[in-house]
Structure 1
Amino acid sequence: MSKFDVQPSRFGHVALLGRPNVGKSTLLNALIGADLSIVSPKPQTTRHRILGIATHEHAQIAFLDTPGLHEGGKRAMNRQLNRVARHAPDEADVLLHVIAAPRWTDEDEQVWKLIEQRDIPCLLVINKIDLVKDKADLLPFVESISKRHAYQGIHYLQATRGKGLKALMNDVVRLLPEGQAVYAEDDLTDRSERFLAAEMIREQLMLRLSDELPYATTVEIERFEQDGELARISAAIWVEREGQKAIVIGAGGAQLKAIGSQARRRMETMFGGKVFLQLWVKVRENWSDDDGLLRQLGYMD
């Protein structure tokens, strides 16, 4: 046996699973140290499988952010979001079941039923512990869960402030299979800049119009061209009603201008260069219940 303590290299995919609005995207961003997955206070902000890469000295972890698994919602979009969430464990080596303290809902139970069908190690991540005034209340809550569900470990997090991340990351690495890194050291994701641009526009729509039309909008990039150091991007914002179009544009175009301005700043930070962004608003009735248009917009692979 060698007298040297040499750590093996590890690589694997880690899927973040949970019902909507438990903080999966915030957790992904915290784990990789970058604002990759868009975040808003509204459930079902995440609509795609987002891969975020964290590279460390002895391990590379490919985290998979997923839409929240949810009940209700009978549109094609809802079915697609659940389909993406249900398929995520198929490519994972480790699962993280993220819940929001101090609640365990029927939707949380549905996520567990998906997990227990797989022979994959799973950690329970109890997020938003800052919302629990008396931390002693967590003990009977966790004891009740542990009696009914077999997790390989339990972690308490406040992802927005990075609390509990180091212990979670160490536990994840422990469960990963041995293997060499697949991605370059400075890779952040496997998603294209075109995809990320659409997501950054949609993030502003969710943040600025969450009370008026949180789920009636989506974004399609119609042109993405590099002109020297300048990225020229044209995008269509799809809504389902003429009245929604007026809301997105705002009085005198002020709302649309603000959405574009904030999205452009996010893109310039992410892409590391200047961006010229043009936005249009288009109406397609019931686009979120149209399988063909969802496929065109990249929701169905």
Structure 2
Amino acid sequence: MTSPHRAGQVAVIGRPNVGKSTLVNALVGAKVSIVSNRPQTTRHRLLGIATVPGGQLLLVDTPGIHREQGRQSSTAMHRMMNRAARGALEGVDAALLVVEAGRWDEEDSLAHDALREAGVPVVLVVNQVDRIRDKAALLPYLQQASAGRAFAAVHPVSALKRKGLEDLVASLLALLPEQPAPYGEDEITDKSQRFLAGELLREQLMRQLGNELPYATTVEIESFTEDTSGRSDMLLRIGAVIWVERDGQKAIVIGKGGSRLREIASKARLQMERLFDCKVFLETWVRVRAGWSDDEAALRTLGYDQ
């Protein structure tokens, strides 16, 4: 007798910078969410589709839930990210609460409270266990994190090294309804290539300028066309605008003689070619739009809050 096929939506929730996007990518088996070492790298709600033996997990990756403290965390963009994270709980079948091994702070409790209010089964994912040298210290932490909290299961994992994921998948499938897969086996996200191109460019901005301009940049894809003329393989022609808020920030992005912008665009192009499996011609421009991160109308034109 074969096991029933299960499928459903799973929200991936947690405070900023605990590895939610790395976990989604590991489960999907492809890069659908960008990652960097800066909190709040993820700004949009994104669906990662993981087709596994016996089922399909529709993983809703979200910005980290955070308290609004100080000007930076109370901008329109950060309010939209909090709404996106909390809105991801609507209509899901289960949720993952992702925490960092050995740490539980106020924002972890905030994320847990949001899940408790949603009333869905929650699996606790203790990520980055590979960083814990003394494994004996992990058991007391797991007991402490679980005390007084009704988790459907608890799984220590290393998303980066893809350890502990098989057992996690099995626990998730058991929580999902019996139904056919909503997406094809070759589908990995609900986002367009155009959207993913913008995210891959923004990832390089976060990685290379995170210490100087952690949240002052965003990306808008102005053109995205397929070119097969006179070629045996497809070429994607992509035009992207990097938006900043001040002229001084524009100079930082461009760098001396344009060197920094060339490096950012080159690394982003290589990531695009890897993901799209074709050649990419990428053109980039840097423009100033004062106060875009605290202007809800501007954010909507740039693709936020959708």
Match status 1:36 vs 2:15: no
Match status 1:251 vs 2:256: yes
Report the Cα distance in structure 2 between the residues aligned to 1:241 and 1:181, rounded to whole angstroms: 47
Match status 1:16 vs 2:21: no
1:156 corresponds to which residue? 156
1:168 corresponds to which residue? 168
Report the Cα distance in structure 1 between the residues aligned to 2:145 and 2:196, rounded to whole angstroms: 37
Select the residue among 27, 31, 41 that pairs with 1:45: 41
Deviation per CA, 1:238-272, whole angstroms, max 9, x where unpaired? Answer: 01111110010000000001111111111111111
Name which of structure 1's ranges 23-32 and 131-140 shifts more when overlaid on structure 2: 131-140
1:79 corresponds to which residue? 79
Report the Cα distance in structure 1 between the residues aligned to 2:91 and 2:63, rounded to whole angstroms: 15
1:267 corresponds to which residue? 272
SS of residue in 1 equivalent to 2:169: helix
Normalised by the length of structure 2, the TM-score is: 0.95
Deviation per CA, 1:47-96, whole angstroms, max 9, x where unpaired? Answer: 01111111123201111110000112110011000000001111311100
SS of residue in 2 equivalent to 1:234: strand
2:305 corresponds to which residue? 300
Which consecutive residues of structure 1, in runs of 5 or more, have no partner in the other structure? Answer: none
SS of residue in 2 equivalent to 1:236: strand
Report the Cα distance in structure 2 between the residues aligned to 1:241 and 1:105, rounded to whole angstroms: 35
Which consecutive residues of structure 2, in runs of 5 or more, have no partner in the other structure? Answer: 229-233
2:210 corresponds to which residue? 210
Match status 1:57 vs 2:53: yes
Deviation per CA, 1:154-179, whole angstroms, max 9, x where unpaired? Answer: 00011110111111011111111110
Residue identity matched to 2:38? K
Q: Percent identity?
A: 53
State how 1:218-297 maps to structure 2 within 5 Å. Answer: 218-228=218-228, 229-297=234-302
1:185 shift after superposition: 1.2
Report the Cα distance in structure 1 between the residues aligned to 2:260 and 2:169, rounded to whole angstroms: 40
Report the Cα distance in structure 2 between the residues aligned to 1:112 and 1:187, rounded to whole angstroms: 30
Report the Cα distance in structure 2 between the residues aligned to 1:32 and 1:146, rounded to whole angstroms: 27
1:184 shift after superposition: 1.0
CA RMSD after TM alignment: 0.9
Residue identity matched to 1:277? L
Name which of structure 1's ranges 133-142 and 111-120 shifts more when overlaid on structure 2: 133-142
2:231 corresponds to which residue? none
1:102 corresponds to which residue? 102
C-alpha contact 2:84 2:305 (8 A) present in aligned 1: no
SS of residue in 2 equivalent to 1:151: coil
Report the Cα distance in structure 1 between the residues aligned to 2:262 and 2:41, rounded to whole angstroms: 22
Match status 1:120 vs 2:120: yes
